[in-house]
Amino acid sequence: MSFQNPIPLRLKEARKKAKLSQKALGVRIGMDESSASPRMNQYEKGKHTPDVRTLKLIADELDVPLSYFFSEDEITANLVRLINRLDKKQKQELAFYIQHTFKTDLS
């Protein structure tokens, strides 16, 4: 079974949802204007992978949690984005609901 790095796909999806060009996103996270578009393109094509610091800057700029980029499927990616929008109490309530409704435990 082969593993496909989810970062390129998630990056492109989040950037497009934010309605930003590759260049605009790169510049917003501090890349030089002349290299921003090519660098972001390489990240989205999977030719290069951003380091965690850069990925965190991208996540903050696109208003997604860092974990979003590591979601291997669309449903999980959407759940991560939705959960990120909840406050701490709501997250606790959701975790309780899931554990008791689906009889699942994290231990």
1-5, 15-19, 29-33, 58-62: which range is least confident on average? Answer: 1-5
CA 25 – CA 27 distance, rounded (Å): 5
**Domain locations along the chain:** 7-101
At 56-107, the pLDDT tens digits run 999 999 999 999 999 999 999 999 999 999 999 999 999 999 999 998 877 6
Question: Which run of H or E residues covers position 23?
Answer: helix 22-28
Q: Which CATH class is domain 7-101?
A: mainly alpha
